[in-house]
Structures are given as structure tokens and as C-alpha cells.
Chains A and B, each alone.
Chain A
């Protein structure tokens, strides 16, 4: 019994330590190959848009396989698992616009490498990292908790970084 109590206390301590170390309250757990490489920050900004939130951080492909994700196919989910539609995801580390003027391309998609460069597509080898930026607007108190990217889910911090 004493051992069990000790183990429980130790487990709680570990969880608390992890929580403190990570610096955010991840309400859920991530699954799949995408993981935060370093502590993401969640920010309520800018002041002119009081309902908007942004999470900034660096992700790592923790698998040995190449991870390919298209930002448009990523769903930002709230605590109920419902999609927040007014949200954007960019695998930053790339400019937000292309060097090719898309309005002139008559429906032809940008080259793949360019979509990677501007963060619309993630093509990440195992063990490699990439910045990630997610923004959304909170309505009716619904806040983002996960990214669902097909191969897994990535937990987001649910409280603002002090």
C-alpha cells in the first residue's frame, strides 16, 4: 500500500513536472508522428481582435517515416471534437505567399516544393523539425484543443502563455 501511494505520488509529481516543464495545459494527449519539439506558446493577440488566438511552436516528426500533411486538410478541433472553421494552419518556415503570382496561373497549382516553402504543405523527414502556426477565432467560448492531421492528433495548449 505504501508502495502504491508512493508510486501514485511519484506519478502525480511526474505529471505535474511535465506540465510545468511544458508550460501549457494540454487537455489531451497527442497521437501520431507529429509532436511539439519545444514548448509552444499560445497568445491572445492582437489587442484589436480579442477573440483571436494563435499558437506558435516547432514540431518534430517523431517517426522514421516521411510525414506529408497539407494545411488545408488539417482540422482544428475544439474540446468537443467539433471543427473550428475560422482557423488557419501554416507550417511556417516559409513565406506566406508564393514567388509565383497565383492569380495568373489559371487554376494550375503551385509547384509542390513551393507549397512546402510557403508552409501550405508539410514534407518532413523523420527526426526533422518545422515551425507551426495555428490561429483561430473563438466563438461561444469554443477554443482549439487539437489538430487532426489525418495520421494523428496534435494537442494544443489550452490556456494563454503567461
Chain B
């Protein structure tokens, strides 16, 4: 029993650990009514506004030269559209658009200079801030109130919806704000079902802020927004971002060098991410956070044919619920995928009902936590826009060399994926008590890390059958009920290695019954990860804390096993 008490108290420490993505400063958000929305379908007809640059004609002729029928058709279409071009900046077109419009972007580099000229915060909107999501300033209870002077616990602020609506060029290069704030329904009233698309290949249209704007494209209550066929680079926060949006679609887009997130959706539903390439993000290439609230009855966001690589995290999502990720690749990140329940202020916790299925998760061994890289990131933190766009500065600590990590999730399915060449191990699974997400209800102490199924995965095999080992299979805290592992195929003894509490048999419980413990059993188990709590990106003393080897490059087991 005493061991259990220690285990429980230490469990809290676990939370501290790893990295998911919580440093995005949203306002306190709500979930849209999913029954009122749907994934948008791309349209090829209907009202359209055309945007171009001075050199678009030259680009069309240069980039789309060739005599093949496909290229010829594309070139002719672009030249026809050029005659209709009335805008030099995308945001100018957005402000003229009405619901169901298409905004067609001809080849060019779009720096959106008029938006860049608007500061953040913009003086006329300076009072349109509200409490940011995050810990409740009252969450520390009496002790905190007694310990610190009144007023010292004021929380951070985030721009309100009214801010987005009134000052759309301030925080973002391009903002689609769909809700009319005069009515209380928080639903899209104007600029709904907007379609913003490049008219050529995705590499022919580039939208960039050179690191100067928080967001490049921001859809705020922009129900039905559909984006495709372009490249976005170098936001100071999110390259593509939707919030409280019912129905959205990101298709055929390249996203590079976001300071934090390549693609981010938050408190949104009826979404589709498809055919995306996300790289060089300081946090996650792909981040569907907070919801949708399907609770295993439906998947509200689908993610398919995504290639996420060379980010700190290939994918993450605090409270990323009801998401189906399939036929995608997460590779050459520090860690492939993370889901968690340990950040206060994210609606929808505890996280549940995600499905990772049929993906390739491999070679997640990029170490962005070297002393040299962390020194560089600290030195450039105040002028991050000057950073080399291909230098990744991690925002959170993660165990380099890992396929995936589930921290405090329920009812998740990890099925039929190919895990290979992740040099530390394939996965982590552990519980997170409610207090760490700011809920002090003692009835919720053990409400996470149940009913997760890890089945039918191909461990140490590439998709073509070639063996390419991982450093091990699993780290599990031994907690939770009905967690189960079955039908996983291992290429080698190394791939089958597991790390579970000493009191457990050296095998993982099979499905369907799975585990039958409610709480973690063995505090020793935590020693590998708890010291990593102390990592701090901004403090040289804590860039590589003692007792933590997450930032040491794990050995490639390939030579041994191949």
C-alpha cells in the first residue's frame, strides 16, 4: 500500500515530463455543434476573387512551361485567371469575400505587407483581450493566495474573437473571421465556406511572414473553410490555424518552419487534413487539439496521407479526441506522435478515442536537444525571426528516438502501423491524474489511461518487409484498466523489449481483457522519466538535467539486429 501511495504521488511528477503542445495562447474555447457542420467539398465553380503579384505572369510562363496536355491546360487556366486579378494581397480579397466565395491565388510570393505593417496588439483593439486558456489563477488554492500578494496571480491574456473580427491583420497575415459578434450564437454568419486555393502546383504559391506574424492563415469561427494548393513558411507561431470552426479542410499544402505549429486545429470539428507536408516546426507538424467530442462514437477529424518530418513532434494534441489518423508518415522527428491530458485549460480532457491506424512511424531520432542547438535557440529566442528556418528549436521536452507516447488517454487505438528505426523505443503509456489538468475532484484521480489497445502493429519492419529495428517496444507504468496489447509482430528480440514494473510479468496483457490494475504499481518505474521534469528551454542550467537521458542520442540498434 505504501508503495502505491508513493507511486501515486510520483505520478504527478510524470506529467511534467513530456512534450505535448500546450503553449498556444488561445482564449477559453468552446466546441461547435458538430451536427450543424460538415467537411467541406472543394468547388470549381461559383463566385471567385483572384489574387496575383506583379510577376505572376512571368512565373506562370516559367513554372508552367511545357507542352504536355496537363501543363498546357494549367498554364492556360492561370493566364485566363490573370486577366481577372484584382488583388495584390490575399487578405484584401478575404475582406471583400462573402460566404461561398473562392479566393484564387496565382503563382507568386505573398508577404502580405499591409498585414505586416499592423502591430500586435493593434491599438484600436487593445482592450479586446480575455483570459487565456491555461491554469486557473485560483487553482493553487488557499496556499497560493496566502503565499503571494494579491494581484500577482493574474493570468495571461489572449485575443478575443472580437479582436480577430475587428483587427484581422494584427495577429495574422490572413484572418477569416466568420461569426458576426453582434449575435450571441458564436456561429459563422459571413465568409462561411470560404475556399482559398493556389491555382498551380503547391510549390508555386508561397505565403510567408518571415517569422514576423504569429499566424499565417487563421480561421476563427470560419465554418466550412477549405484551403489547398500552396506553401506556407515561417510564422512566429502557427502556419495554418483554425479555432472554434465547424467544418474545415486542409489539402495539398506544404508547411515549413513554423516557430511552433505547422497545422493546428483547436476546439474544431468536421475536419479533414489530407496530402500535407509538415516540417521544421518547434512543436508539432500536425496538431489537432481539444476535441472533437465524439467519445468513440465518431471520428470528427480525419488525417490522411500526411507526411510530417523534421519537427520536434511529428504530431500531438492535448485532448485530441475523436481523431482518425491513417496512411500517413511521421518520421525524422524527435518523437513521432504524442497525445496527452496534462495541460490545464484545454477543453475535452481527459483525452480519448483517437485512432492511429496504418501509418508509418519511423526514424524519429532527430536530436534537437543537443547543447549546441539549445544554446542557439536560447540566443535567438528574442529575435526568432532571424533564425535559420531549418533549425528546429523545441518548445517541450520529449524522449528523442521514440515512436509515440500516450499520457493520460483513454480508449485509444494504435493498430496496424509500421514502427521501425525508432532508436529508443516504440511507445510509452502512462496515466495522468486530474489535478494536473486543473481538476481537483478526487473522484477523478484515476480517470486516465484505460482501455487503450495496441494491436496488430509491425514492429521493426518497414512496409516492404525489410527489418529495421527499434530500440525496444514499450514503456508502461503498469496502470489503468483494460489496456491491452495483441497481435503485434516483432522483427527481433530487441523490438520486443518491454519496460514494465518489476512486479509484473515480462509480458503485456492481451486483449480483450487487458490490464486490471487501477493505478501504477512501482515508483521505480518512474525514475527514467521524472528527472526530465526539470528541463527548461530558457535556462542553461536545466537544458540537460541530471538523471534524464532523453536528450542523449540513443544508440541505433540496427547494426546489432540487422
Contacts and interface: CB of A to CB of B under 8 A. Distances in A.
A96 B397 contact: yes
A112 B16 contact: no
Contacts of A118: 16
A129 B9 contact: yes
Contacts of A133: 10, 13, 530-531, 533-534
Interface string B365-380: 0000000000001100
A158 interface: no
Q: Which of B154, B345, B524, B527 has the most CB of A within 10 A?
A: B527
Contacts of A93: 9, 12-13, 435-436
A6 B15 CA distance: 50
Nearest to A71: B534
B155 interface: yes
A30 interface: no
A99 B16 contact: no
A43 B154 contact: no
Interface in B319-359: 342-345
A54 B527 contact: yes
Interface stretch (B29-37, B111-119, B132-140, B175-183): B132-140
Given A106-B382, A112-B152, A123-B147, A99 B6 contact: no
A112 B139 CA distance: 11
Interface in A23-51: 37-41, 43, 45-46, 48-49
Tell me the interface secondary structure of chain B in the complex. loop
Interface stretch (B52-60, B299-307, B506-514, B536-544): B536-544
A149 interface: no
Contacts of B396: 97
Interface in B129-151: 133-140, 142-144, 146-148
A153 interface: no
Contacts of B148: 112-113, 123
A104 B538 CA distance: 10
Contacts, number: 207
B344 A56 contact: no
Given A88-B545, A95-B343, A45 B139 contact: no
B140 A96 contact: no
A45 B528 contact: yes
B41 interface: no
Contact of A97 (B146, B154, B535): B535
Contacts of B10: 56-58, 92, 131, 133
Contact of B546 (A94, A103, A136): A136
A49 B547 contact: yes
Contacts of B537: 97, 102-103
Interface in A96-126: 96-104, 106, 111-114, 116-119, 121, 123-125
A53 interface: yes
Interface residues of B, number: 69
A118 B147 CA distance: 16
Interface string A73-99: 000000000000011101011111111
Contact of A57 (B9, B16, B137, B384): B9
A11 interface: no
B222 to A, nearest CB: 25
A49 B546 contact: yes
B12 A92 contact: yes
A116 B528 CA distance: 23
Contacts of B531: 52, 54, 88, 133, 135
B95 interface: no
A68 interface: yes
Nearest to B538: A102
Contacts of A86: 546
Contact of A95 (B15, B144, B154, B545): B15
16 contacts: A37-B9, A45-B547, A46-B547, A48-B552, A49-B547, A88-B542, A90-B533, A92-B10, A92-B13, A93-B12, A94-B436, A96-B535, A102-B537, A103-B382, A133-B10, A133-B533
Closest 9 CB pairs of A and B: A92-B13, A135-B547, A96-B16, A96-B533, A93-B12, A88-B534, A58-B9, A135-B531, A101-B23
